[in-house]
Copies of this chain bind each other. A is one copy, B any other.
Amino acid sequence: MNLPSGFRYGAVYAGIRKVERNDLALIVSDAAASAAAVFTTNRVQAAPVLVGKAHLEATGGRARAVLVNAGNANCATRTGMKVAEATSRAAARILKVRPEEILPSSTGVIGVELDRTLIEKALPKLAARLSTDAFDEAADAILTTDTVRKTASTCGPGFVVAGMTKGSGMIHPGMATTLAFVMTDAAIAPGALRKHLRVAVEGSYNRLSVDGDMSTNDTLAVLANGASGTDITSRNAAAFQAALDEVCQSLARQIARDGEGASHFVEIEVSGGKNDGEAARVARAIANSPLVKTAIAGADANWGRILCAAGYSGVNFDPGKTSIRLQKTLVCRNGLAARYDEPALIEKLKSRDVSIQVSLGSGNGKATFWTCDLTHGYIDINGSYRT
């Protein structure tokens, strides 16, 4: 995997998780980096989200490091703000940077006090372990119920973009995401980086749904340290956007693919909307429908539920012009059952990857969403998350 220059990574077990598995990670840029982030829009925001916003504000969009823990969301706790601030200060001291240059981040259970001393004690060991190739170790440390590591990287002309993310439940379009950290060695000003990030999020994390829940901690942060020497200007801005899009889309798709308990990855493509926004609303309703998701789990070609979900999306379309394809097989033409080989389609629906294509027949608007099916596994994972 290609990694951007000028970043070091590290992970350690600080004792926050009940099981002994790395739960604290650092991502450090050798030089001050431009930084931009998108945070949850939940009214309840975890302390690290509030502190991270304040730090970016204070620095005008510069950062040196991301300090992230799993096992505790540091949300709805008495000491939350103090913990996020104190652990930022502790990391800053060791890295010899300003506390505002640290972006703290947390994921895990809500409402349980996070013991800052666990992080403070683990930091020296973590800092000593920092290395340019511990990217995967850091990516592993931020996972919670994920079953696989989620990373992506790509090369642009003269720069590299690489990212890591975590799923798996509580993911909903319309806000940032779960946790994602994207690093690049391109040189770009904070304001321009923010704009590129917004575009990338709109086409990736905002097109993702696992269960319709939205976390209190969702954060997607990008650090651009310029170590490649390649400046992003109007000449190569499109290439930079394309690389950022590619990494964010890959990460978002990996989250859907590893949705809690998922046995199928589902790509929903809606075309023929009056505009892209309408197509996205239809795609989102289908992606969030528990009835569609359980049908996919059961390899059931129940296209009526897809039409039904489109029907309550709030978009005013004509069912009589709507067609639906499952695994590229036309199952519904102009709102009515098409003729197809059902046993053959059921076989195709047993594939890990499922494609749903809906054509609304009322314009050129289109949108793609990613989700997963709803299985027993989701319930097993979430019925006993804390216990």
Contacts and interface: CB of A to CB of B under 8 A. Distances in A.
Contact of A76 (B111, B313, B337, B383): B337
A76 B335 contact: yes
A297 B383 CA distance: 6
A304 B319 CA distance: 40
B211 A76 contact: no
A324 to B, nearest CB: 10
Contacts of A305: 110, 213
A170 interface: yes
Contacts of A346: 387
Contacts of A175: 312
A315 interface: yes
A307 B76 contact: yes
A275 interface: no
A309 interface: yes
Interface string A284-308: 0000111100110110111111011
A75 B320 CA distance: 12
Range for the number of chain A residues in contact with chain B? 35 or more
A117 interface: no
Contact of A304 (B75, B288, B374): B75
Interface in A197-247: 211-216
Contacts of A43: 310-313, 315-317, 319
A56 to B, nearest CB: 21
A383 B42 contact: no
A110 B304 contact: yes
* Number of this chain's copies in the complex: 2
Given A212-B212, A304-B109, A291 B382 contact: yes
Contacts of A385: 295, 298, 300, 302
Contacts of A337: 76-78, 111-113
A53 B11 CA distance: 64
A140 to B, nearest CB: 24
A327 interface: no
A54 interface: no
A302 B300 CA distance: 33
Contact of A215 (B113, B308, B383): B308
A61 interface: no
Interface in A31-49: 41-45
Interface string A363-385: 00000000000111011011111
A332 interface: yes
A3 interface: no
A76 B305 CA distance: 11
A382 B211 CA distance: 16
A382 B289 CA distance: 12
A109 B308 CA distance: 11
A270 to B, nearest CB: 14
A169 interface: yes
27 contacts: A43-B311, A43-B317, A44-B307, A44-B319, A75-B304, A76-B319, A76-B336, A77-B337, A110-B305, A110-B307, A111-B303, A113-B337, A169-B291, A170-B291, A211-B291, A212-B290, A213-B305, A214-B311, A290-B290, A290-B374, A294-B381, A294-B383, A297-B379, A298-B379, A300-B384, A375-B379, A376-B376
Interface of A: 41-45, 73, 75-78, 109-113, 169-170, 172, 175, 211-216, 288-291, 294-295, 297-298, 300-305, 307-313, 315-317, 319, 332, 335-337, 346, 374-376, 378-379, 381-387
